[in-house]
Structure 1
Amino acid sequence: MSVALVTGASSGIGWSTAVELARRGASVILTYGSNEAGAKQAVATIEQNGGRATALHLDLGRSDTFEAFKTRVADTLRAWDDELHVLVNNAGFAQTALFQDTTEDLFDRFYRVLLKGPFFLTQTLLPLLADGGAVINTTSSSTESAEPGYSGYASMKGALVVLTRYLAKELSPRRIRVNSVSPGATRTRLGGDAFEKFPEVIPALAAQTALGRVGEPDDVAVAIAALAGADGRWITAQDVEVSGGFGL
């Protein structure tokens, strides 16, 4: 791999993925929404280890900004004299609401950020993506586990799984592989730092996980990196659950 773009890389899975891809030799363009400090920390970590990275702001819920973002990405690629080979659609947010309590505003935000955003960002960046490249979408094991409170969130992640298969089909003439990874309970900042605020939920989640603990961002990052690189060269159109056996 040469250049990888990772959205939502200021913390959690995105942060770990950016660092892991850099460790495997990629130059990394990473994006952030509100957490600029976290993005700069990721860049610093990559540079301290001899890698190359830059952070760009991106509001995934604002598809009208994607063309301007594409221009900034293209400028970076020219400055690096390189091509974009990997796109990781990771940015998102999580919020629980029972079906009967889900408002249209929340539903629309889920749609804009979790489905419309990756759809049109990928479409916008497609001319920059090299033939033989890879797209990895971050989905969620909530599409299968059906826990109360995730109907809106999981519906969009489920649609992203479907989109993954269609992109794999339509981009195959360019040998672009498209897969998704489906994390289970993972210790990230999603849900308003829920793990930090409510540590008492961790033992219960670990008890539901076959391997006996909650996931760490690095657990998911190595799976994404494997799919992005030569190890995943013959894998496409797959949704790979990376959950330690959550719900088994």
Structure 2
Amino acid sequence: MSEVKDQKVALITGGNRGLGRADALALGATGVDVILTYRSGKDEAAQVVAEIEAQGRKAVALQLDTSVVSEFPNFVAQIRDVLASTWDREIFDILVNNAGFAHIAPFEETTEEQFDDLVGVHFKGVFFLTQSLLPLIADGGSIINYSTGLTRFVVPGSAAYAAMKGAIEILTKYQAKELGARGIRVNVVAPGPIATDFAGGMMKSDEARSYLASQTALSRAGEAEDVGDAIASLASDASRWITAQRIEVSGGANL
């Protein structure tokens, strides 16, 4: 589509908590309106919507399980309706594929069911949701995928999770090449260890924060806002010549 609107709209999966919440608030703070999805945290999502609206921006929350590909046509129809009713438009500008969950287990103990669950959310869901949404993404828009620092450095117990993110890094390059003719930029952000509720909040304890600080060049633990601000910067026009890149946001972890 060639429709052009001055007001940018972003769609963030898993925007109700953690890094997705930080992404939504950071984008809102830069003047971007937001559609965010949640799988089960409806009340959390409503709170994020309220915070974005308090910034003077528009926001909408929609339920979505990104592992259920069969539901994507219905979700796309919902997005079309929301864009028309809230913004009087047919397209949005920024897609952030954030939704995910942690899995920590030794390689030899990871089950096929656990592996398939990771594939469904972290790779298959990202692949086919982005594909389904392509007709609604503006020419000149931006897609940001999520990876992890664990594709560069190794923490035992993360083999399956990191492998999914490695696949996302390769997918990002192909998306950037194939969508470049439409002016769509595609990049992947790889956070290092961040003090959020991801993985059951194991990174939030004082002991974990102290350890993380000792592993980073900047000598502190990472916060969700550090990643959210990076996402907002990468999605902005200031990053218009950046595509097909893996950008690690880790404070210089494990150098």
| Shorter-chain TM-score range | over 0.9
Letter in 2 for 1:141: G
Equivalent residue for 2:243, pick from 218, 224, 236: 236
CA distance in 2, matches of 1:143, 1:133: 26
CA distance in 2, matches of 1:48, 1:147: 40
Letter in 2 for 1:209: T
Question: Offset at 1:239?
Answer: 0.6
Q: Trace 1:143-182 onto structure 2 (pairs within 5 A).
A: 143-182=151-190
Question: Offset at 1:200?
Answer: 2.3
1:137-186 CA deviation, whole Å, 9 max, x = no partner?
A: 01100111111000000000010000000000000010100001000011
Q: Trace 1:70-109 onto structure 2 (pairs within 5 A).
A: 70-79=76-85, 80-82=87-89, 83-109=91-117
Structure 1 residue runs of 4 or more that deviate by more than 4 Å after TM superposition: none
Residue 135 (structure 2) aligns with: 127
The reply to whether residue 13 of structure 1 matches residue 15 of structure 2 is no
Count of residue pairs the alignment pairs up: 247
Moved more, 222-231 or 158-167: 222-231
Q: Please, what TM-score do these two structures have when normalized by structure 2?
A: 0.94
Question: Offset at 1:199?
Answer: 4.1
Letter in 2 for 1:202: R
Residue 215 (structure 1) aligns with: 222
Letter in 2 for 1:11: R
Contact in 2 for aligned 1:86/1:134 (Cα 8 Å): yes
1:186-241 CA deviation, whole Å, 9 max, x = no partner?
A: 11111122234x54222112211111111111100111111111111000000100
1:61-90 CA deviation, whole Å, 9 max, x = no partner?
A: 111111111111110111111330000000
Contact in 2 for aligned 1:131/1:176 (Cα 8 Å): yes
Contact in 2 for aligned 1:141/1:243 (Cα 8 Å): yes
Q: Give SS of 2:43's match.
A: helix
Equivalent residue for 1:45, pick from 17, 31, 51: 51
Contact in 2 for aligned 1:88/1:135 (Cα 8 Å): yes
CA distance in 2, matches of 1:194, 1:40: 25
Q: Give SS of 1:145's match.
A: coil
Percent identity between the two aligned chains: 49
Letter in 1 for 2:152: E
CA distance in 2, matches of 1:199, 1:222: 24
CA distance in 2, matches of 1:199, 1:64: 42
Q: Please, what TM-score do these two structures have when normalized by structure 1?
A: 0.97
CA distance in 2, matches of 1:171, 1:199: 44
Letter in 2 for 1:147: V
Contact in 1 for aligned 2:195/2:209 (Cα 8 Å): no
Q: Give SS of 1:5's match.
A: strand
CA distance in 1, matches of 2:211, 2:9: 39
Contact in 2 for aligned 1:12/1:187 (Cα 8 Å): no
Letter in 2 for 1:33: R
Moved more, 219-228 or 232-241: 219-228
CA distance in 1, matches of 2:55, 2:182: 33
C-alpha RMSD of the superposition:
1.0
